[in-house]
A and B are shown apart, each in its own frame.
Chain A
Amino acid sequence: MSIHNNKIELSTIELSTNIANPKQLRQCDISAYDAIYLGDFSCMDYPNNFCSHPELLADALAEIHGAGKKAYLRVYATPGNEDLPEVSELLDEAVKLPFDALEVHNLGVLRMLKERGNTTPIHLGVFGNLYTDATARVLKDYGVTRVYPNPELSLKEIVYIRDNTPVEVLFPVHGKIPLVISETCFIIENSQCATQKVNPSGKLVCDFPCNQDYWLNRSNGGWVLKDTGRMTLSGKDLCMIEHMPELIAQGLCCFYVQSHGESPEYVAETGRLYRAAIERALSDDALPGPSGLETLARLAKEGLCNGYYFEGAGQTYLGRDQVVGG
């Protein structure tokens, strides 16, 4: 299916993913991506998390810009009162650097940035709980230029927001769906082998049991979730690769691969396959190629789904032929 009134240029399409720390930046091949969200917004204790290590930001930013890509800095999503000083420190550093945007999930942080006279564009993150065009307009006054809609929104609703507000929408096309965030670490609280130590200044430090994959399986079967300690995600991977032509035809252009907790292979392969799918969708004369669905299914331990896009249960998967009217 080609796009007939094809005024869409490849340059207007942005494919992004997330990288939590310098080690992941070294390990992951991000060549297929146009933009990177830096940091793990769920856990300030994650090793060398960009969200909590202002001293690491400048180098990462330079490297990503050097590769011709955009860099967005994520800010911790659920700061309690006691976290605000540390978040404040990060913001002070972040606004001095030429980040292309800051990703914010928390209303208080939006306000803190406004108070600082911040001019860096802001992207509202997934736990910003954005459902309506009216809210997008309110947030525009706080410098928000893009929103990551709440996962419960349908494709139709997301397109409506894109069409009726002055903000961009980030459209997740692949990866596990973030479902809930946690104030304490579920893995540390429940893992048989995790230990929680106290460092010399009395702060709790963990030994990162989350470097293994933890799954929540319903004891009597049927339901699966992925738990990364401070966030719980869908067991299945959202996968929209078969629908890229329709998405682009609807004018969506900021596509996101949600790769929190995934391997370097996952990041690289997913990026490559979606890059290819986008190019195919934009090219009038490209031969239909293998969609990459098999590879993506292989990378998804619990299988694939379409989330809430097609107004059905979060866990089901609809291929291209099953969707009537997109």
Chain B
Amino acid sequence: MVMMMAPGGTKEMAMRVLDAGADSTYVGVKGWSRRGNAEELPDDQIHEVIDYALARDKQVRIVVNTLPSSTEIPMFMERVKMYHEWGASGFMISDLGCMQLVREQIPTAEVHTSVGCGIVNYADVHFLTELGATYVVLPYRLSVNEIQQIKRENPNTGIEVFLFKTPSGGKICPGKCMMSSYFSFERTLDEDGKDLFFGSASRGGDCLRVCQTEWDLETAKQRHQQEITIKSNPSLWLMELPAYLHAGVGCLKVPGRDRSTELVCDITNVYRRAVDEILSSDAPKLMPLEIELQALRERWKAERNNRDDGLISSALAASSRALIADAVGM
């Protein structure tokens, strides 16, 4: 049994991915998920999405994977209980303390650990299982062998993977990177008194993708690289899916809360057919779907580059504002 979870960056996207064949959708709460406001939902829309899903025998996962301020935790628990009462079946959480509280106070809720937990090995999975995780999301980079090892050591834990693979090592993303906030950190409170840190994904803002602008790598004596990005980007994968499902992956996460609804629905549709094909055949024919996916990868890249440009501009603007304020202050 595998659950395919697709993004709900907007109310429309959430509903349409369910129609496109996702088993569940994941939606972010405004100010509480690792994306900006534009890709998060207000409570009334969350309620509508939950109703829509339940009527179709599908599920909703609520993304509350920011790392809150200590004093916001009561607010966090109130919100989570409310969504649970409405019918949301699971929550994506990064903060260990919040995870434990949800486990204690809402025993029937499913908990997905989020990237802020920084899983890199099977002992991490043990730890989170003991804390009460239902699903652990493994980083982009793990191989089938590593997943098998993790599943062997933790047979009862749900394994969740992004349908995203990073091509090579490098700076660990996402989860514990602060480059964006270092350059662009501005702090505000929203109408509910919730702290929002523009430029920090961990604190309810957006990662502003500063790693994707052009950088030079230099020592005092030499310029080693010119105009490079400092992190490579993940891409959608498919051909390894049979092996991953066989290794014990129980939840597939389609990325894309920050992509267009059209693109995300097309992606969801391809993966739906892929999973159905894999589950119904010993020799699944995935090549035609891989070809479809290739076109979607191109569209993904175009949308991402466009969005990155906008985010980097915001970061530069925020930087300038901060440094001007600094200069004035001094």
Contacts and interface: CB of A to CB of B under 8 A. Distances in A.
Interface of A: 78-81, 83-84, 106-112, 127, 129, 131-139, 150-152, 154, 157, 160-161, 164, 177, 179-184, 186-187, 189-193, 212-220, 222-223, 225, 227, 232, 234, 308, 311-319, 322
Interface string B261-283: 00000000000000000000000
B117 interface: yes
A-B pairs, 9 with minimum CB distance: A134-B97, A108-B123, A184-B169, A313-B322, A314-B182, A131-B67, A219-B214, A135-B97, A180-B177
A190 B225 contact: yes
B200 interface: yes
A182 B170 contact: yes
B318 interface: yes
B5 interface: no
Interface stretch (B18-26, B183-191, B245-253, B301-309): B183-191
Interface stretch (B50-58, B80-88, B124-132): B124-132
B289 interface: no
Interface in B199-225: 200, 202-203, 210, 213-222, 224-225
Contacts of A177: 178, 182
21 contacts: A79-B121, A106-B120, A108-B127, A127-B118, A134-B73, A157-B70, A160-B71, A164-B70, A177-B178, A179-B178, A184-B168, A186-B170, A186-B230, A190-B217, A192-B225, A212-B221, A215-B218, A220-B213, A222-B319, A313-B186, A317-B326
A186 B185 contact: no
Interface of B: 67-71, 73, 94-98, 100-101, 116-128, 130-131, 141, 146, 149-150, 168-173, 175-179, 181-187, 197, 200, 202-203, 210, 213-222, 224-228, 230, 316, 318-320, 322-323, 325-326, 329-330
B168 to A, nearest CB: 7
A248 B224 CA distance: 44
The secondary structure that dominates the A interface is: mixed
Contacts of A131: 67-70, 95, 202
A62 B68 CA distance: 41
A234 B216 CA distance: 15
A300 to B, nearest CB: 15
